[in-house]
Structure 1
């Protein structure tokens, strides 16, 4: 079908899916799904076998599915453009590399690693800080442009190791229009004669990427800014093959809050999880992460901030993606997570919370848990906080938070004992939040003290913490016997 938008997310399985990779996938997904019949392809770029990580592909697929970005074609979802792993397409690339050699746009290079090192050393000594294998240096190297034809043929016949390099013109301006940055131009003298086919017969990223994007009929290449410097080599190859290049869009870098690119090291020092798997393990709401990532370098042009994946699909366009870097604001992500937790009904949250409770050795009663969830919703940032901060709903506090103990004053025990007398007189069936509150008011009036003087010790005694959900409905849920037992113990322990 003419005019169908086809995009691809093409990660390398060299490690777990980075959060920046998930954002690239998201922008591709939103762009594809925002066009009628748009197709989102997952292609695994596994040509670098030395850095291949066994479980990385599974992690990439799991991450996309978790985030709600199911791909239309890819490993395990065959379309007519497969296979979708580059390691399974090896023979295809060889033919195209040979075609470029025959056309005079590429050449065989027989240089050994030592010879390449010597060339770089020689050039550095003569004052070239970043030596390259290019239009100038290629003429002093061991390749099919400098060796006699017979010798080249002999080397090939004898199975001598070689690579195929792209023959980059010496003086040419390479210009293309980027959907985000406008017109971009590069001088060819700044480019090296890129290796296209390695000595093991595997293609490099550059050749495989161009050939696959063409054969898979990809219409738009949306990828990170770090690939911008490779784009001119890709444009040259499209020109040499006589193919129409796809439209290109290079997304802004994700920046660290302290400035500079969000590297693994920076993320670690700033407490930002770097891989998608970390967000899954830390039980973030997938909708929150997706909503947050969509705003990393894109905005809808108004003040709105909360949008589902479906809404983002309708709103997204490349012309609203910024050129400048986008700062990863972890606090903002937490804000999104809190929002999505509050939006979900208790029934929907319960299965996840039950699983977390069981991991903590607690088997909650469903009806009881469904009463706790609304009480705690306004207080939690992540779903496991329902259990870690709400543990007092299930078991007596074993110890009291250090910070909270500082708020236990000389008259705390006396006030609590006065309150205890009131509680003991309440009939079990009238042990309700409003009764508990009015009783507390009577005690503080009788002792002529402020609300906090009794409220804080009561919270510490019954929950072990100096903060938490609304106290009186919490005590109503705990019930008379538990509340009294905990107060008596705190009076003994804290005096």
Structure 2
């Protein structure tokens, strides 16, 4: 094929959008844009029993989230496989007329019985020369030629398939509907697809599809089969076993740019990444550098911990205004956004996802802290906690509203802690638990500043009263 490259991404709308599909789509998108070609979105919607309109919209929305936009001049679609049903049947008829396909009335039971009788594996072309025509229960089979089929793959090199071990495969079912193998080839031919970049699980189908391409009088597209994604047990990611839905990661607060960057590293390494000692790169750089020849052959480990690390890096690159806006969907509607904006810069280093934000700062928006019993028992029962908190209250009571700034608040507690021969980490723990209810959270003194003088002191006094009377947290 010649002319402008045309790549395609052809998902089935039968469920949530798989992260493996997203990675394949991004590879195709990078190639289409960097070559001045076209990315064709084809929805393979012929499985009427499983297809749902919301899944189709989910594919479109998910692609848009990772930057593959229908508004881009390199984007075409969505096109729908069901619209090409007549072309599928016309192609089947041409294959019959050219002698590349024939009808077969043998049932699966017939085939098993004949195979056992002749001691062969599977169907052995028994209907090839029977001259059957179409009829109820008659399938249409492709007449596999002798010899070897060579698939020239941009990732894997030349892959040879012995045609002798490929049985005459079905093109039309007994009810006259086309199978994936035929429909896929006809769709690609009708849409002018020049390059097929997909997961390696499709490689066994490729010699059959190449035979169909050639039998229909077309040159096969450029093939490229990229490694599948696996989990930590090195098993292929499964919808039943693993967290694979792109929508779920989005809902949990993964940034689109972080997801895109991470997915691009699965099976491919950005040139210069080792020298730069980072895998964090903008899309524009990855798009221009991506080459199929550089894709690895080995399965790629989808490491959720690494994805979270990427996401944390991207969160830290946001401006304060961007961070506040990004976190907004995860914040309860009644929360004061102005107050959140004040604390946001101080939690930015602690967030791995946007969904983490409410849990880090919720104490600021509650009438009283919700005490974590383990934090209370660990911190507030030490021999120094009660007197230190009492001294801290006294010291902070002497700080004016105008001086209620985090630098001054830190210096004030440092003056107190010298009496107890403690380091700052231990000295601030009773104050932190009294004010926030737990031992971890945003920087203490910045949190006190945002909370304000009166509320901070009130919480300290309540906690100290409980310590003095032995009242458990509640």
| TM above 0.5 | yes
Aligned partner of 2:139 in structure 1 is: 163
Aligned partner of 1:305 in structure 2 is: 279
Within-5 A mapping of 1:24-173? 24-36=24-36, 38-71=37-70, 84-111=79-106, 115-120=107-112, 123=115, 131-133=121-123, 136=124, 138-139=125-126, 143=127, 145-147=128-130, 149=131, 152-153=132-133, 156=134, 160-169=136-145, 171-173=146-148
Aligned partner of 1:290 in structure 2 is: 260
1:386 lines up with 2:351 in the alignment: no
Q: Deviations over 1:236-263 (max 9, x none)?
A: 1122122111100000111211222222
Aligned partner of 1:374 in structure 2 is: 345
Q: Deviations over 1:366-415 (max 9, x none)?
A: 2x322211111001111122211111122231222524532331321111
**For the Cα contact (< 8 Å) 1:6–1:32, is it kept in 2?**
yes
1:197 lines up with 2:172 in the alignment: yes
Q: Distance in 2 between matches of 1:427 and 1:484?
A: 12
Q: Deviations over 1:440-481 (max 9, x none)?
A: 112111233333332111111111121122211211111111
Q: Distance in 2 between matches of 1:478 and 1:404?
A: 21
Shift of 1:124: 5.6
Q: Distance in 2 between matches of 1:106 and 1:398?
A: 72
Shift of 1:422: 0.8
The 3 A distance-change label for structure 1 pair 179 and 401 is farther
1:277 lines up with 2:247 in the alignment: yes
Aligned partner of 1:270 in structure 2 is: none
Aligned partner of 2:461 in structure 1 is: 488
Q: Deviations over 1:407-436 (max 9, x none)?
A: 331321111001100111111111111221
Shift of 1:355: 3.0
The 3 A distance-change label for structure 1 pair 386 and 401 is farther
Q: Distance in 1 between matches of 2:113 and 2:232?
A: 39
**For the Cα contact (< 8 Å) 1:412–1:453, is it kept in 2?**
no
Residue 348 of structure 1, aligned match among 311, 322, 325: 322
Q: Which runs of 5+ in 1 are unaligned?
A: 268-272
**For the Cα contact (< 8 Å) 2:136–2:175, is it kept in 1?**
no
State TM-score, norm by structure 1: 0.88
Aligned partner of 1:469 in structure 2 is: 442
Q: Which runs of 5+ in 2 are unaligned?
A: none
**For the Cα contact (< 8 Å) 2:311–2:353, is it kept in 1?**
yes
The 3 A distance-change label for structure 1 pair 50 and 187 is farther
Q: Distance in 2 between matches of 1:122 and 1:414?
A: 91
Mean CA deviation greater in 299-308 or 202-211: 299-308
Secondary structure of the residue that 1:417 maps to in structure 2?
helix
Residue 419 of structure 1, aligned match among 381, 392, 395: 392
Q: Distance in 1 between matches of 2:376 and 2:207?
A: 62
**For the Cα contact (< 8 Å) 2:375–2:433, is it kept in 1?**
no
